[in-house]
Copies of this chain bind each other. A is one copy, B any other.
Amino acid sequence: VRVAAPAVTREVEMGAPGSGMAADIAEQPGGYARLLATAPQVAEVARVIADRAPAHVVFVARGTSDHAAIYGSYLAEIRLGLPAGLASPSTMTLFGARPDFSRALVVGVSQSGRSPDLVRVLDVARRSGATTLAVTNAPDSELAATAELHVDVRAGRERAVAATKTYTAELLALLLVVEGVRTGTGRAAPKVAAVLDRLPDLAATTLDSDVPDEAAIRLRFAGQLLCTGRTYGYPTAREAALKIIETSYLSALAYSGADILHGPVAVAAPAVPVVAVVGAGPGGRSMAEVLDRVRSRSAEVIAVSPAEVPGARIRLPVPEVAEEYSPLLDILPLQRLALRLALERGGDPDAPRGLTKVTHTR
């Protein structure tokens, strides 16, 4: 399966700082196509889960994968009608909690599959009778071996420390699993499959815009940032903030479009840009009040949206899709923005200070 790699941040030369992250970002349309081509294997996993009919879903993850897990939990609640949430591994690894997961589907999401705390949670869950699923980019990892079920997100080796293509591959894998459970057959419904078929091309189109680079150049002197989005826009806001934190060391706060109104909106100010994810649906529409409030504080809005956003100084354009698919596209221009911003500020996003690719937490 081949999709033409889009030109991402055109000036990044092979071997130069950021070239690894640029290459990872550019591979995402092809990664979507590759994972979609292996949908039958995901379907087997989804069928097993549908047969077990779990009563609720528990996700465990760290860092970037945490944001994929948030997306998964929204899909489980909205598309499957199952209560879903994220568990804290440390209640089990440090405090010996042994929750009864017997009616749960417990999903560990991790690109490396090597964080000991996640392995431990999947082990505890499996022993208590849960259906366990590992979603990783590492089929030979301990996490994959510990869980009963495994989905390989097939993103290929990631060059940069900051995760990009493994994140979007995790998103798609979780979507495929949920849609397969939803129909009961393991395969997505035809209407969903039709959208997914277009995904590689939509991703390539999205990555082809140079607006994120222009926005990054504009943000060169920002000392802090606010990122926000509602429901399906929230994991995107969180992930955008983390990319900027990791690669530019800026304090990028991320709050949902509801939680931001309960306090953090006070940070919005003329020198504090606000990155707002404004989808074409109920989540995006509910951002209107947030946008009013930050504009009344003279903050500049950078919107990620398929349509014009009144008052936004810059709009990072994305294709219009139903909001349940939007996380798979909306993060793409923000990855480009994070990459370019780090380069503008003289950093090397491939190897951020103080970080390594695999993090072991207990």
Say whether A95 contacts B117, CB under 8 Å. no
Say whether A263 contacts B246, CB under 8 Å. yes
- 0/1 interface trace, chain A 234-277, chain B, CB 8 Å (1 if under): 10000000100110011111001011011111111100000000
- Interface size range of chain A in the complex: 35 or more
- Other-chain contact of A253, B64, B96, B253 (Cβ < 8 Å): B253
Q: Give, as a whole number of angstroms, the nearest-CB distance from A140 to chain B.
A: 21
Once bound together, how far apart are the Cα atoms of A283 and B362, in whole Å? 11
Give the interface of A toward B (CB within 8 A): 55-56, 58, 62-64, 66, 73-74, 77-78, 81-92, 94-101, 103-104, 117, 162, 223-225, 230-231, 234, 242, 245-246, 249-253, 256, 258-259, 261-269, 282-283, 286, 293, 296-297, 352-355, 359, 361-362
Q: What number of copies of this chain does the assembly contain?
A: 2
Contacts of A251 in B (CB 8 A): 223-225, 251-253, 267
Say whether A361 contacts B261, CB under 8 Å. yes
Contacts of A293 in B (CB 8 A): 354
- Other-chain contact of A94, B89, B95, B253, B282 (Cβ < 8 Å): B282
Once bound together, how far apart are the Cα atoms of A235 and B95, in whole Å? 16
Q: Give, as a whole number of angstroms, the nearest-CB distance from A78 to chain B.
A: 4
- Other-chain contact of A264, B87, B104, B242 (Cβ < 8 Å): B242
Contacts of A98 in B (CB 8 A): 81
Once bound together, how far apart are the Cα atoms of A82 and B230, in whole Å? 28
Once bound together, how far apart are the Cα atoms of A162 and B262, in whole Å? 10
Say whether B359 contacts A231, CB under 8 Å. no
Most buried by B among A58, A100, A162, A354: A354
Say whether B62 contacts A77, CB under 8 Å. no
Given contacts A64-B263, A77-B88, A265-B355, 8 further A-B contacts (CB under 8 A): A81-B97, A83-B100, A88-B234, A245-B263, A245-B266, A246-B266, A261-B361, A297-B353
Contacts of A104 in B (CB 8 A): 56, 83
Say whether A297 contacts B263, CB under 8 Å. no
- Other-chain contact of A82, B99, B296, B297 (Cβ < 8 Å): B99
Say whether B263 contacts A66, CB under 8 Å. no
**Can you list 6 A-B contacts with CB-CB less than 8 angstroms, sorted by A residue number?**
A55-B103, A62-B259, A85-B86, A88-B234, A91-B231, A286-B362
Asked if A258 meets B89 with Cβ closer than 8 Å, knowing A253-B253, A264-B245, A267-B245, the reply is yes
Most buried by B among A78, A101, A282: A78
Say whether A91 contacts B78, CB under 8 Å. yes
Contacts of A242 in B (CB 8 A): 263-264
